[in-house]
Amino acid sequence: MPGVAALLVVMAAQPTAGRTRGGGTARTVDGVQARRGCDVANGGPVEHGYPHLRTVRESVTALYRRLSYDTVRTFSASVAPADVAFADVDDLHLGAQRVAREMVAHYRLPDARLIVGFREMTHAANVELTAGPEYFVELNDRFRDHRRDIGAALAHEVAHVYLHRLGLSFPSTRENEILTDTAAAYLGAGWLLLDAFREDRDSSQKLGYLTPEEFGYVLAKRALLFGEDPSVWFTSPQAYTAYREGLALARRDAEQPPLRAAGWAGRRRYARDRRHAQGDAEAPEAGRETVYRFSADDHGPLRVSFPCPTCHQRIRVPVAGRVRARCGLCRSVLECDT
């Protein structure tokens, strides 16, 4: 029995008194993957912030481990806006098939054939994950009148096919959907999902399982890796704002001790924690979390481990002053002051 993967859509209507940021009364529909059909859950306004950040970072690490550095580098070019443009005068079905072919080509699935249809349903889209080479994608009937977002929906669904063929998945349905959104964004198609986010005082729309800021974060990680600026393609002002917030967080990943780019306050906390690990200072205040961890082997030198700011795999180096570390997974060269 094939699995079914579905795309979440949040649509908020008229605002209500005392609403939080992101909309008013909303409907949230979650797709459930791998032989479980679809569950429907009534949710609230569009969620903001970084509630899934840990899983997002684990997803980036998983992509590098499964694909390798060399394969990730082949995705240096994002999907071009012109390749997925969809005018109202275009034939609906022919246009959807054209965009699907562009997504298949982008994800390098030359022998995969997507058959796109439209029907009335509560979620945005779903795809049957079979052995292939044909995959049936269903899009919500609302895309008949919102054709500009068809590319975003297909970016998510074809990412499901890509990960399915790779055999890359996480244990839970929610984690798998976060992995899919992260893969789409990191591999150059997911900027369309963020651009589908629109919000004003009366309504809002968001596709995907990541928050807008989390999409912005993943796109920023990709931008810092490949030197591209996806914000020039955004048609949604809210997407641009979310991207800038995500970019600020992505830059902070490279400014955490023991990296030499860390700020004064972080370096001071790090030095205190290092003295404690060496037995020369009292323990840090309870409840304070850090990205680095100190450890020592029997009769061995003190070492510190920390996440790579590119792929988030943990790196372990000796506490020996200024050192240069190379991540074995993403090949980033990191200047450290341990």
Q: 280: pLDDT confidence band, cut at 50, 70 and 90?
A: low
- pLDDT number for residue 35: 23
Q: Would the pLDDT of 38 be above 80?
A: no
| 197-232: pLDDT as tens digits | 988 777 788 999 999 999 999 999 999 999 999 999
Q: What is the mean pLDDT of the chain?
A: 85
Contact between 93 and 144 under an 8 Å Cβ cutoff? The reply is: no
| 281-333: pLDDT as tens digits | 565 665 567 899 998 877 778 999 999 999 999 999 999 989 999 999 999 99
Average pLDDT over residues 237-251: 96
From CA 195, how far away is CA 233, in angstroms rounded?
A: 8
From CA 180, how far away is CA 303, in angstroms rounded?
A: 35
Average pLDDT over residues 65-88: 94
- pLDDT number for residue 23: 31
From CA 147, how far away is CA 153, in angstroms rounded?
A: 10
- pLDDT number for residue 257: 94
- pLDDT number for residue 238: 94
| 138-149: pLDDT as tens digits | 999 989 988 889
- pLDDT number for residue 26: 29
DSSP designation for 209:
S
Q: 2: pLDDT confidence band, cut at 50, 70 and 90?
A: low
- pLDDT number for residue 18: 34
- pLDDT number for residue 10: 60
What's the token pair of residue 334? 């990191």
* Separation of CA 126 from chain center: 19
From CA 242, how far away is CA 278, in angstroms rounded?
A: 42
- pLDDT number for residue 82: 93
- pLDDT number for residue 287: 57
Q: 27: pLDDT confidence band, cut at 50, 70 and 90?
A: very low
Q: pTM for this one?
A: 0.87
Percent of the chain having pLDDT more than 90?
A: 65
E-strand ranges in the chain read 3-7, 9-12, 26-31, 38-41, 113-119, 125-129, 134-140, 198-199, 204-207, 293-296, 302-307, 314-318, 322-326, 333-337
What's the token pair of residue 277? 């690990």
Of residues 86 and 153, the one with the higher pLDDT is 153
